[in-house]
Amino acid sequence: MTDLSNGIGIIRQKPTLVSTFELLVKAITPVTAPGTEPVARTVVQGYFLTIANTSNSNVRLTLQFTATTPVLNVADTVTISDVKGTNDFSDLTPVAGDPNRFTFSLGISANDTALVTLLPDVSKIDLIKAAKLEIRGYVEILLNSPSAGTPVNLLLTPEHRGTFLPQNLAAPNPDFDQLAYSLPTSSGGSLFTLTAPVLKINKELKIEVKEFEKVQKDKDFEKVQAEKLAETSQVENLTSGDGSNDLQRLIGLMAQRLDQIEQRTANGQNGQSFIQAKERPSVGEQVVNQPKN
């Protein structure tokens, strides 16, 4: 899935299925005959997800809960996250335009572990008295960061944990029993490898970047030409002046150039230059053609 904004495309990875979940404040079995009420004890059950970040980078995660039938009423639930050793209470966030989806985001430091819990809100006594709450659905996970397509390995352990309530909560010695069982994951194991969204530049922005690079190259070319023109102007100024000093400087530059040519051709002449040192005139010395012997 790709979102485009200001010429930049964000390639979002699809959420990864984790497991199912079931929230309960309900009798464990229906009462079918008089005298069987003690068997039909009310159970309060919640969803627990342990997440271990095995990477060397901090991560940002989003959990997505989907519940269609029965619907999930956020007011009847509470979400608790424990990342730093304390319980942080919050609520799920409804997904705009989709009444059956809800999200919860959290961050986990490198090589650290977090626990996310979705529970029935038992602080509401009416929920316990009615004993009719039942919410089922499935959980997905999405990695938000780090970006640049870097895969991250997470260990996910989903569980259901619950408490059996006594028939009479006001009894002197109420009988509470606990239950806990792990849930199968979509991968069949605990290891999940996730990839964060990747930024991608769209075609129009790439064209603009290329045009900018071309303009920059043209500017660099003009700068080089201007520097060459300045050097040529210096030589022209030397040759156009009437003073002897300028002429002497020009002759000196020519002599230096001859030295460079001599050094390059020396190896091709058995170590000897085609102009011997004693034959080379000094700067400013008048040269007279000598007859050959």
Nearest residue to 77 via CA among 34, 21, 35, 6: 21
SS (H, E, C) the chain: CEEEECCEEEECCCCEEEEEEEEEEEECCCCCCCCCHHHCCEEEEEEEEEEEECCCCCEEEEEEEECCCCCCCHHHEEEEEECCCCCEEECCEEECCEEEEEEEEEEECCCCEEEEEEEECCCCHHHHHHCEEEEEEEEEEEEEECCCCCEEEEEEEEEEEEEECCCCCCCCCCCCEEEEEECCCCCCCCEEEEECCEEEECHHHHHHHHHHHHHHHHHHHHHHHHHHHHHHHHHHHHHHCCCHHHHHHHHHHHHHHHHHHHHHHHHHHCCCCCCCHHHCCCCCCCCCCCCCC
The pLDDT confidence band at residue 155, using thresholds 50, 70 and 90, is very high
Cβ neighbours around 193 below 10 Å, total: 11
| Nearest 10 degrees: Cα torsion 124, 125, 127, 129 | 180
Tell which wins on pLDDT, 273 or 16.
16
Residue 272, token pair as written in the block: 């000897």
Tell which wins on pLDDT, 167 or 93.
93
Tell which wins on pLDDT, 116 or 278.
116
- What is the reported pLDDT for 237? 58
Q: What is the mean pLDDT of residues 85-99?
A: 95
Q: What is the mean pLDDT of residues 1-26?
A: 75
- What is the reported pLDDT for 98? 95
Q: What is the mean pLDDT of residues 63-67?
A: 98
Q: CA 70, CA 206: separation in Å to the nearest integer?
A: 48
- What is the reported pLDDT for 234? 57
Nearest residue to 38 via CA among 207, 214, 167, 127: 167
- What is the reported pLDDT for 13? 73
Tell which wins on pLDDT, 167 or 109.
109
- What is the reported pLDDT for 19? 98
The single residue listed with the structure tokens 């069987």 is 36
Q: What is the mean pLDDT of residues 88-113?
A: 96
Tell which wins on pLDDT, 205 or 130.
130
pLDDT of 112 over the 80 cut = yes
Nearest residue to 50 via CA among 142, 114, 106: 114
Tell me which amino acid residue 87 is.
N
Q: CA 155, CA 272: separation in Å to the nearest integer?
A: 79
Tell which wins on pLDDT, 83 or 197.
83
pLDDT of 2 over the 50 cut = no
Q: What is the mean pLDDT of residues 106-125?
A: 96
Q: What is the mean pLDDT of residues 134-160?
A: 90
pLDDT tens digits, one per residue of 215-265: 667 666 667 666 666 655 655 555 555 555 555 666 667 767 766 666 666
pLDDT of 154 over the 80 cut = yes
Q: What is the mean pLDDT of residues 133-157?
A: 90
- What is the reported pLDDT for 4? 45
- What is the reported pLDDT for 142? 95
Tell which wins on pLDDT, 175 or 165.
165
Q: CA 141, CA 156: separation in Å to the nearest integer?
A: 10
Which residues contact residue 126 at a Cβ distance below 8 angstroms, ignoring those fewer than 6 apart?
Answer: none
Average pLDDT, the chain: 80
Q: CA 136, CA 70: separation in Å to the nearest integer?
A: 7
Tell me which amino acid residue 150 is.
T
pLDDT of 5 over the 50 cut = no
Q: CA 33, CA 51: separation in Å to the nearest integer?
A: 44
Q: What is the mean pLDDT of residues 194-203?
A: 70
